[in-house]
Structure 1
Amino acid sequence: MKRPDWLAILAAAASGLALAGPLAAGGVAPGWARPYLAALVASAVLCAGGANNPARWRLGSLMLALMSAAAAVALVALLGAGLQSNAGWGYAAALAAVWLAAWHTVSWLAALRPPAGWPARLVNLAIPLVFGLTLLFLWECGVRGFGSSMMKVILPAPSAIAARFGSSLPTLGADFVQTFKGVTAGYVMGCGAGILAAILIDRSPFLQRGLLPLGNLVSALPIVGVAPIMVMWFGFDWQSKAAIVVIMTFFPQLVNTVAGLASAGAMERDLMKTYAASYGQTLLNLRLPAALPFIFNGLKINSTLALIGAIVAEFFGTPIVGMGFRINTEVGRMNIDMVWATIVVAALAGSLFYGLLALAERRATFWHASYRQRAG
């Protein structure tokens, strides 16, 4: 006997409380939202009642996912129909019901075993999409439904952030270009220097004992202490930000590349020796290809470190443009929606950069065992 579907049971209970309770703290909420909550109750009951019937449970899970999406849209629409800062405990119960239904949907999708190809990719995309949209929904409804005017200034709703993002695209674009100059230059120099230093360390035991501790020391330097010095050395433009990025990215790339160069097996090295291969031939044909997963691991780690370093460095001196400058300035003006809009740009840029590196890694290391296991 299959255990009870507690998520569906709790979703049914929460949506039932929402139906019984007041959606508005003062006055009467529009009645057109109640049928959506009733449909959410019915789908949750269908899902919970079909726990021992796989076909009925799958149908109930699908209905619960669809009805929770419809109820979420209705609850957001209620905010513009008089529930702005006027939501009651019934509205809170409805939010809890949608959250539980979304949790159930994510669990259901994660348990699916779709065939390889586009069905598997679609399911893998749907899971983080549902999870992220649920967080945005709870944020939007919580702030606008229950938040005071001061709370809306400190923590603006996603809709306010989106509005500021759309109205400030030229400013955000100029800030991104300025910051991206330092990120790109510093990332290329820092990662490139790390890879070259790793090859030198691999070739010379003396450097391995001397340069690795020095690299560790450099990586431990606090950004807030080094950034003003770099600004004094290289000026207020992107060059000083690139210097900070070099400091932040050098050691992670060095450590990962050194570990990768040491990952080639002894049998493969002996085989290269039997072919009378030189150090350079062994490096290019065996050790660097074997180190590629480690090198890409360092590149992916540095893709986020570089952006963080450049933004923080801009707090200590920059032209009147740049993402760090914008965050620092707008926080002082209490324009928190503009701060969040800048954070969204940074998050999107970092995610895109990381995704491109992951795609390049898959193309370059398709032979690696981890990809063969996923394909199997």
Structure 2
Amino acid sequence: MPDTTLAGPTLAEFEAARAVVARVAEVTPMESSRFLSEVLGSPVYLKCENLQRTGSYKIRGAYNRLAKLTDEEKARGVVAASAGNHAQGVAFAARELGIAATIFMPVGVALPKLQATRNYGAEVILRGHSVDEPLRAAAEFAASTGAVLIPPFDHPDVVAGQGTLGLEILDQVPDLDTVIVPIGGGGLISGVASALKQKFATQGRTVRIIGVQAANAAPYPLSLRTGVPTEITLSPTIADGIAVSKPGILNFEIIKNAVDEVITVTDDDIARAMLVLIERAKLVVEPAGAVSVAAILTGQVVNSGTTVAILSGGNIDPLVMERVLSRGLAASDRYLKIRLMLPDRPGQLARVAELISEANANVVEVLHTRHSRNSLISEVELELSVETRGPEHVQRVLGHLLEAGYEPRIDF
């Protein structure tokens, strides 16, 4: 059982932050999910911070931090670095408080996030091609101009602001047993876990906190094993909003005492979760915000009682969404790419299409080429994109082609 003697903000400080954050943050919906409840075997609720102002929970910590600045600090302005949600949270909070904000973002940042940050009134400076370069640039800017650097997670005021979400969850689901929280640097889960553990302790109750990281960007499992914040080398992940290479120092101290378990999910798991949220809950959620649902779908959450999964954000580029949903369909065996080598003679394409039709599948795209390096001079390569209805249907389509003498290869 985690220690309830926690580093970071006290319960009184979380309550005080709640009054501050309430000036700008919405009380976001808490939606029940029949589908996920059936998967888990106990009630599941979705805390929809994807519907929060600026599209994520980040406004909570950003506004609480900026509201605590002195008049002299406000006059110097603030600076931050982010590829998305933190940038928008800081820009919005600065506008509401009348503070000049400078935000460093990577050159390749998604256009909707760039435009939103500018629309909130911040001066945006594009620098580098990863988040690390804007972070260095923001630190240099703060040192040279006196602007106050606003960190994305590793500060007690930020943690206190994010923890207001935990108190809000408890108001909406009083019989709460478990909360599943996405983890990047740890600002959200350290706030939610600390606030809830302290609140439950006053009531003589316990609550289980489960953190979820993307498998390709998961420094917390290693750090918790070693006992110290440990930096890892990040691999590409669709969950860029939680792709942080090293835990925050304050966040790690809270998490190692207050969080019961940290698990990881793959990009395919995340894509499937996003698809489920769109189809079953009618909710658009960014990859980082969907990892809590991915944890349920993969069966890694068990015996959890009444459970709340936090959907931490909904800021996603439509072009990225198109690719991710295609990945989710493929991972759910509802979209299949097949490659076939065919004799280069008339009627072969029609025959393959007929076989797929007989298996009750629908061809949505065809590429027919004589120029594949894998084919003989007497062959052509056929690439088919096919709509299917799950694993059994995929096997029926492949089996039908095999029985007809073809050798289909799945293209992942």
Q: TM-score, normalised by structure 1?
A: 0.22
Structure (1 or 2) with the larger CA radius of gyration: 1
Q: TM-score, normalised by structure 2?
A: 0.21
